[in-house]
Structure 1
Amino acid sequence: MMRPDFYRNPRLDFEFNRRIPYYVLAGLVFLWLLSGIYIVGPDEQGVIRRFGRMVRVVGPGPHWHLPFPIERVDTPKVTKIRRIELGFRTVHPGPPARYVDVPEEALMLTGDENIVHCEVVVQYKIKDAPKYLFNVRGPKELVKDASEAALRQVVGRHKIDEVLTEKKLEIQQEIQDKLQELMDLYDGGISIVLVKFQDVRAPKEVDAAFKDVASAREDRERLVQEAEAYRNDVLPKARGQAEKLIKEAQAYKIERIQRAKGDVARFLAVLREYQKAKQVTRARLYIETMERVLPRVRKYLVEGEGTVNLLPLGTLPKVAKGGAR
């Protein structure tokens, strides 16, 4: 406050207000408490540490914690897919992407003692944020070293043909399962999302020979598939034709049997008639046979014995042209 004699002695002279330090201290405390406000993103988890010890985990949204140095918060991205490259490195993401080989990571022995060049991509994410932060030191290096160990172990159990062509997908799954087993053993809070071969080939020194062998195998597979397709086309037709012939033979067999039974029945009926009247039956059979043998010839029945005078010949009917008398 200004003193009453200020105009007689014009100089600044203020009295010190003892409340000002308290106001300043209260403001600093307020700003300090305000610094404890933080926001956890939708793809994050908040891990609160009090004097270095984890006390709680919070989800997405605004939160408050005791300000530094009492508490601090770590917000790892738990949904982010992280990537590890083995056997190669991405020099430029492109397009077009450019890569460089890392032979000391890529070259390894197979189960039949051949050398193979494997380039692998491993994708992983955080499964448990506190374990990821506090149980392991350098989680990225841990994943890389464990991936290389799992890759060499699984490839070492398989032949080179299986690695290059036949069982590539099965081997990828085996590597992923083995790597997840190692991560669970280290209890690092890491989940393996995917293990995929970027490239699998023989070393450059023998790559051309292996390509020739692979091409020959592909030709063999193609020929086998073509043969199987031809077999699948011909066999049903042959079976159908065979079934048709069998059915026709069975029908012919039944027909012949029925016809033979009919012939037997007719013969037995004729036999019974013959036994009753042999002469009459013999004559009837003769006439019926002549009717079948000479269907277009006019026939005459002559009764009695000896010769019969048929003159004059002109009275006989003329047989049609091309016929007989």
Structure 2
Amino acid sequence: MVKKFEESFRSFKSLKHKIPGAGAIVMVILALWVLSGIFIVAPDEMGVVKRFGKMVRTAQPGPHWHIPFPVESALKPKVTKVHRVEVGFRTVDSGSPARYREVPAEALMLTGDANIVALEFIVQYRIQDPVSYLFNIRDQEKTIKDAAEAAIREVVGKNKIDEVLTEGKFQIQQDTMTLLQGILDRYEVGIMVDAVQLQDVLPPEPVIAAFKDVASAKEDKEKIENQSMGYRNDILPKAKGMAQQIINEAQAYREAKINEAKGDASRFLQVLAEYKKAKDVTRTRIYLETLEEILPRMEKVLLDQNVSERVLPYLPLERLMEKGGQEKAKP
């Protein structure tokens, strides 16, 4: 081995004498090799230097140098950038309008009440520990996607389909993010999950029409309930007001009758007291007062006593009967 190296060195020396400027060329190549170790870390990056594949140090934003290839190399993951993982779909063209491709194998999930739902979502994350991110797992994006899919399947499996399709979406996002962060922390992936955002949450295509009918029925039910509540809120105050009015009128009638009865009783007691004092006078007065009240309403004929002795008394019963019948016919 040593002999071969000495022979190579002697051949290089002989080549140096044979080729003019060979030393300068070697120096330029060496300089370029040394300069190839310069690297610049951008403000949104962090440098990680590897020596023969093993991490030896990290580098902050700015210019740095490492021993050139093949001894050392530098990786520069973006630690402030928000990365994105799509689950259940893939973006084919991000132009306007964007085009997507569905991935049913990832999107179809089973809910807690044994219904199938097609759920598409994205995971947004940032690299928190570049060393763990680069060296603890091999395929970072696939690992995050698989963990996110497992987390949301567990969360959806604990909820009913109505909650998944309607008002439970926000809670599902929060629960999935918490569960996913716990899984990735156990894997020591070195990332921070910023958000889990549901995109499309739909029942499977063959039963979409049936689910729309159910949703329409629920909307009609809520509409009818709201209308009935509105009618209830309108009619109840009116009914309560009318009831209170009737109660007030009844109380007023009661008070009036009580006061009237008390007045009649008091007047009777006063008359009784006067009657006890002078019975004849009081009897005559009551008689006259009664006649004053009755006689104005009656048809009457006054005859002198002398004349009345020569007149035949006549009582017109037929006229009285006709008059009584007319009075009964009046409402």
- Give the aligned partner of residue 78 of structure 2: 76
Deviation of 1:103 (Å): 0.9
Give the match's secondary structure for 2:84. Answer: strand
Deviation of 1:152 (Å): 1.1
Structure 1 residue identity aligned to 2:92: V
RMSD (Å), alpha carbons: 3.9
Deviation of 1:35 (Å): 5.0
For residues 123-138 of structure 1, the aligned pairs below 5 Å read 123-127=124-128, 131-133=132-134, 135-138=136-139
Deviation of 1:107 (Å): 1.3
Alpha-carbon distance between aligned partners in 1 of 2:293 and 2:132, rounded to the nearest angstrom: 109
Give the match's secondary structure for 1:121. Answer: strand
- Give the aligned partner of residue 92 of structure 2: 91
Deviation of 1:102 (Å): 0.5
- Give the aligned partner of residue 141 of structure 1: 142
Structure 2 residue identity aligned to 1:174: D
Give the match's secondary structure for 2:166. Answer: helix
Change (3 A) 1:57 1:266: farther
Give the match's secondary structure for 1:123. Answer: strand
Give the match's secondary structure for 1:176. Answer: helix
Change (3 A) 1:143 1:48: closer
Change (3 A) 1:93 1:278: farther
Measured against aligned partners, the alpha-carbon deviations of 1:93-150 in whole angstroms (never above 9, x if no partner) come to: 2322221110110112222323221112222334555554555444332321111001
Change (3 A) 1:258 1:189: farther
Give the match's secondary structure for 1:192. Answer: strand
Gaps in structure 2 of 5+ consecutive residues: 1-26, 299-303, 308-331
Equivalent pair of 2:41/2:47 in contact (CA under 8 Å): no
For residues 229-308 of structure 1, the aligned pairs below 5 Å read 229-293=230-294
- Give the aligned partner of residue 112 of structure 1: 113
Give the match's secondary structure for 2:158. Answer: coil
Alpha-carbon distance between aligned partners in 2 of 1:126 and 1:278, rounded to the nearest angstrom: 119
Alpha-carbon distance between aligned partners in 1 of 2:296 and 2:184, rounded to the nearest angstrom: 103
Measured against aligned partners, the alpha-carbon deviations of 1:197-239 in whole angstroms (never above 9, x if no partner) come to: 2222222223333333333333233223322232232223222
Deviation of 1:289 (Å): 4.2
Alpha-carbon distance between aligned partners in 2 of 1:90 and 1:240, rounded to the nearest angstrom: 64
- Give the aligned partner of residue 328 of structure 2: none
For the pair 1:151 / 2:160, whether they are aligned, the reply is no
Q: TM-score, normalised by structure 2?
A: 0.64
Change (3 A) 1:151 1:73: closer
Change (3 A) 1:282 1:208: same
Deviation of 1:164 (Å): 2.7
Measured against aligned partners, the alpha-carbon deviations of 1:249-289 in whole angstroms (never above 9, x if no partner) come to: 33333333333333322222222222222333333334444
Change (3 A) 1:75 1:107: closer
Alpha-carbon distance between aligned partners in 2 of 1:73 and 1:88, rounded to the nearest angstrom: 30
How many pairs does the alignment contain?
269
Equivalent pair of 1:127/1:190 in contact (CA under 8 Å): yes
For residues 219-238 of structure 1, the aligned pairs below 5 Å read 219-238=220-239
Change (3 A) 1:81 1:72: closer
- Give the aligned partner of residue 20 of structure 1: none
Greater percentage in helix: 2
- Give the aligned partner of residue 319 of structure 1: none
Gaps in structure 1 of 5+ consecutive residues: 1-23, 298-306, 311-325
Change (3 A) 1:248 1:135: farther
Q: TM-score, normalised by structure 1?
A: 0.65
